Amino acid sequence: MMKKTPKLARPTLRANALLLLVVGFMVVALNTRFWGIVFDSSGLEGLRGVGVIASIGAALFGLTLLMLLPLSLRWTFKPGLALALILAAGAAYFIGDFGAVIDRHALASVYETDAREAGEWINLRMLLSIGALGILPAALLWWVKIDWQGPVREVLSRLKLAVVAFVLLGVAAAGFGKDIASLLRNHMELRHIANPFALLAANLSYLDHARNDNRPLEKIGEDARRGTALPTNERPVVVVLAIGESARASSYSSNGYDRATDPKMRALGVLNFSNATSCGTNTATSLPCMFTDMGRRDYKDGVAKYRENLLDVLMRGGYDAVWLDNNTGSKKLAKRAKEVFLSNTEDPELCNAEGCFDEVLLAQLRKELPAVQRDTVFVIHLLGSHGPAYYARYPKEFAKFVPECRTNELQQCSDQQLRNTYDNTILYTDHILASAAELLRDDPRIDPALLYVSDHGESLGEHGLYLHGAPYAIAPDQQTRVPMMLWAADRFSARRGLNLDCLRNRADAPLSHDNFFHSVLGLADVATGVRKPALDLFAACDGAVEAPVR
């Protein structure tokens, strides 16, 4: 007896055909920003333009095919390709919606994140996007029946595809290699957004940097000791280094912004360094870079990781070092110091599902200060203006600039709403910094100073970019120019002999994170061979004492 049920028949395809369909889908549907940049680039007109674009398509197709070939044997075919589709759809979402690039640093941010920070990214648009471009095609892939041939024939037909891939790459290079190279030079981001090629390249690069974790620690500044400008006495010196997060210089009224975003620090008479640039465009680069003596040009995270940092030198110079963190941690910089994690604090007033307000840092500092007996450096690692959930960074009484953007789907908000919300985070940071300064000032037992600098800036839609992490060479000013301010209690300035007039006269000179290591040692008066006076912004003014009155 035959029974016919009306059922959508599962299509049957050879493995090669299905693989080519997956590759074609990735090249076309998961590279919209890549193609947008290619089509918009100048000099690609006429027949030649068609040739260049076709060559780029062939090259991307060939590369993607080569990447997926190792996954395409019988037992790995469906799970491997399905996973590749979903991961690539995730990458496409960040590339397309945020103007993100997929490089080693971006992956470091993803792999070294915590559940709360990760949760902040998830929104309906992201789920829909990954669902439509990743999960749905993966399900279709699973649904198709594969007409498997014998193992030898399958391997041979995969090898044929490898030959096809190399031919495509060869033809593209021979025909329009020069045009493609110049396009890549003019649009450096292309190599970091070619999906999923960039995803593989970034993972390999990340793994390359993450291996050999057993290298011995390289010591620096072993000669560190206290200098004569700030000798120890019975009154502890307390230096607070406030670092982070995603605050850009141009959003500070101290730097000419037309909104009062930092009224409290201004009222305290801080010294504003108006021309400071960052080492990197993301936390994973900037934070360790600031704490090394290597400088931006020579900075390598693979080397810095196995090398002592500013905190080690400060400790050797007689300071206790305490790292208070409301961000994603010190990236092991405080490994040999004391580190207090506050981002998981359970305080219904200060914390919610999206994390804790930076007030938790103040609360902890308030607890730590009475116990200070020795000279101490506190690092307070702010959550500051960490996006995309800017609205979650400040309590509602700091929503001075309205209307806000109360979603992490930045595309749903107007540029004005986005800017308002971001400005509120700066206003709140101003409150935190000024409150910390007042807390220090009002503890008569100590001689305190506070140095604030952000790890990198932030894009708020300028040039179509959001957030941060652009490759440094092409990063816009919004991502590389950072606020930097010094507050010092009068009794600190007097004891350290700070020549504030001289410093104020130099406050608009170009500075960068390269100055941080040396200037903190200068401020704290730790003498060591690794401190370069030329990079210590205090050294230039140390000799410049006013002539004595006769």
| Sole window of 139-147, 150-158, 280-288, 438-446 interacting with Zn ion (rule: CB under 5 A) | 280-288
Give the footprint of Zn ion on residues 467-486 (CB under 5 A).
none
At its nearest, how many Å lie between Zn ion and the CB of residue 281? Answer: 9
- Return d(Cα 472, Cα 156) in angstroms, integer: 44
Per-position DSSP letters for 425-449, written without gaps between them: HHHHHHHHHHHHHHHHHT-TT-EEE
Mention every residue, 6+ apart, whose C-beta is less than 8 A from residue 182. Answer: none
358 vs 455 by CB, closer to Zn ion:
455
Nearer to Zn ion, 245 or 339 (CB): 245
Residues 455, 458, 525, 536: which binds Zn ion (CB under 5 A)? 455
Residue number, 274 or 285, with CB nearest to Zn ion: 285
The pair of structure tokens assigned to 312 is: 């080690």
Which residues in 232-261 contact Zn ion (CB under 5 A)?
245
d(CA 247, CA 517): 20
> CA 2 → CA 5, 9, 83, 177, distances in Å?
10, 17, 39, 60
Residue range at the interface with Zn ion (CB under 5 A); choices 210-218, 283-291, 394-402, 431-439: 283-291
Dihedral pair phi/psi, residue 512, rounded to 5°: -150, 180
Residue 84 vs 453, nearer CB to Zn ion? 453
Minimum separation from the CB atom of position 488 to Zn ion (A): 26
Q: How far is the CB of 456 from Zn ion (least distance, A)?
A: 5
Q: CB-wise, 176 or 206, nearer to Zn ion?
A: 206
Nearest residue (CB) to Zn ion, 61 versus 291: 291
Q: Give the Å distances, CA to CA, from 8 to 71, 146, 156.
A: 28, 16, 32
| By CB under 5 A, residue 358 contacts Zn ion | no
Select the span of 127-135, 348-356, 450-458, 479-487 touching Zn ion (CB under 5 A).
450-458
- Smallest distance from Zn ion to CB 292, Å: 17
Minimum CB separation of residue 371 from Zn ion in Å reads 29
- Please identify, using beta-carbon distances, which residue of 236 and 384 lies nearer to Zn ion: 384
| CB of 280 vs Zn ion, minimal distance in Å | 9
DSSP letters for 272-316: EEEEEE-S-SSHHHHHHHHTSSSHHHH--HHHHTTB--HHHHHHH
How far apart are CB 286 and Zn ion at their closest, in Å? 6
Site string for Zn ion, 403-442 (x = CB under 5 A): ----------------------------------------
* Minimal distance, residue 121 CB to Zn ion, in Å: 15
Residue (129 or 283) nearer to Zn ion, CB: 283
Which amino acid is located at 165 in the chain? A
What string marks each residue from 486 to 525 as x (binds Zn ion by CB under 5 A) or -? ----------------------------------------
Q: What are phi and psi of 323, to 5 degrees?
A: -110, 115
Q: How far is the CB of 115 from Zn ion (least distance, A)?
A: 18
Tally the C-alpha atoms within 13 A of residue 46's C-alpha that lie toward its C-beta. Answer: 2
| Cβ-proximal residue to Zn ion, closest one | 283
| Beta strands at 225-226 and 526-527: parallel, antiparallel or unpaired | antiparallel
Listed as own residue / partner, the contacts of 173-179 with beta carbons closer than 8 Å and 24 or more positions apart are 173/59, 175/51, 175/55, 176/51, 176/52, 176/55, 176/56, 179/44, 179/48, 179/52, 179/55
C-beta of 169 vs 432, nearer to Zn ion: 432
Q: Which is nearer to Zn ion, 304 or 498 (CB)?
A: 304
Among 251, 255, 283, 285, binds Zn ion (CB under 5 A): 283
Owner of token pair 């935190």: 432
Query: What 3-state DSSP class applies to 240?
Result: strand
What whole-number distance in Å separates Cα of residue 407 and Cα of residue 392? 9
The CB-of-83 to Zn ion minimum distance in angstroms stands at 30
CB of 288 to Zn ion, least distance (A): 12
Q: Count interface residues toward Zn ion (CB under 5 A).
A: 3
Least CB distance to Zn ion at residue 457 (A) = 9
CA–chain centroid gap for 539, Å, is 31
CB nearer Zn ion, residue 195 or residue 283: 283
Phi-psi region of 547 (alpha: psi -120 to 50; beta: other; left: phi over 0): beta
CA R_g for the chain: 27
109 versus 417: smaller Cβ distance to Zn ion: 109
List alpha helices for 380-442, DSSP H.
415-441
Span interacting with Zn ion, options 36-44, 307-315, 355-363, 451-459, rule CB under 5 A: 451-459
DSSP 8-state symbol, 458: -
User: Mask 175-194, x = binds Zn ion (CB under 5 A)?
Assistant: --------------------
Look at residue 193 and give its three-state secondary structure. helix
Could you list the residues that contact Zn ion (CB under 5 A)?
245, 283, 455
